Structure 1
Amino acid sequence: MSVRRVVPNIRSEAAQESREFYGLLGFEEVMNHGWIMTLASASSPAAQVSFMTSDRTAPVTPDMSVEVDDVDAAYAAMRDSGAEIVHPLQDEEWGVRRFFVRDPNGRVVNVLGHR
Structure 2
Amino acid sequence: MKRLTTVILIAISTVTAGYAQKNVQSQNQSQMKLNAGIITEKIQETKQFYTENLGFGVTFENEFYLLMHTPGHQAQLSFLLPDHPSQQPLFKSRFQGEGVYLTIEVDNVDELYAKMKERGVEIKIDIRDEPWGDRHFAIEDPNGVGIDLVKYTRPAN
The TM-score by the shorter chain falls in which range? 0.3 to 0.5
The structure whose RCO (Cα within 8 Å, separation 6+) is larger is 1
TM-score, structure 2 normalization? 0.35
Max Rg structure: 2
More helix per residue? 2
